[in-house]
Amino acid sequence: MEILLVDTGPLVALANRRDHHHVACVERFKDYRGRLLTTWAVLTEFSHLCASVEASLPFYRWIEKGGLELLPLGRDELVAMIDWIECYADQPMDLADASLVIAALKTGCTRIWTLDRRDFETYRLPGRKQFELV
């Protein structure tokens, strides 16, 4: 089954009907039939950016029911994230983005659903491999 890494922007847009990306993200989500995968760093950023508990709580329930998988990342992955953050310090790369880079390395998946196109068009995986932006 196809995996799609998910960044913070689409999650915020799905949860917030007033977000100007909401309709496009809902349409993209309706058509997707694979696995959606993200990290705790992305979920934490989502929680910070989400408009309200009323918007975030149904989203958390959707995750609980298996709508979105959370990739476990531990200390070793944090060390690797720090290296990536240092490498892209001029961007700067945040922890959520670095966690998705590590998720790509762990899963082999380079397809990412993001609204942060500039950064993910810049990031390069080993072998100069690019992310495929959705």
Reported for 57-66, long-range contacts at CB under 8 A and 24+ positions apart, including other chains, are 58/15, 59/11, 59/14, 59/15
Give the CATH number of the domain where residue 41 resides. Answer: 3.40.50.1010
CB atoms within 10 A of CB 49: 15
- Distances, alpha carbon 58 to alpha carbons 9, 26, 38, 99, 124, in Å: 17, 15, 17, 24, 34
Beta carbons within 8 Å of 132's beta carbon, 6+ residues apart: 110, 111, 112
Query: What local confidence, expressed as pLDDT, does residue 72 receive?
Result: 94
Q: Using CA of residue 42, residue 43, residue 49, residue 50, what is the dihedral sign?
A: positive
Tens place of pLDDT per residue across the chain (134 aa): 899 999 999 999 999 989 999 999 999 988 889 999 999 999 999 999 986 888 889 999 999 999 999 999 999 999 999 999 999 999 889 999 999 999 999 999 999 999 999 999 999 999 999 999 99
Query: What local confidence, expressed as pLDDT, does residue 26 receive?
Result: 95
Measure the CA–CA gap between 98 and 51, rounded to whole angstroms: 24
The structure tokens listed for 67 are 């709508």
124: phi then psi, degrees, rounded to nearest 5: -125, 135
- Rounded to two decimals, the pTM is 0.94
Total domain count, the chain = 1
The structure tokens listed for 10 are 């689409």
Whole domain around residue 59: which residue ranges? 3-133
Query: What local confidence, expressed as pLDDT, does residue 54 receive?
Result: 82
Query: What local confidence, expressed as pLDDT, does residue 55 receive?
Result: 81
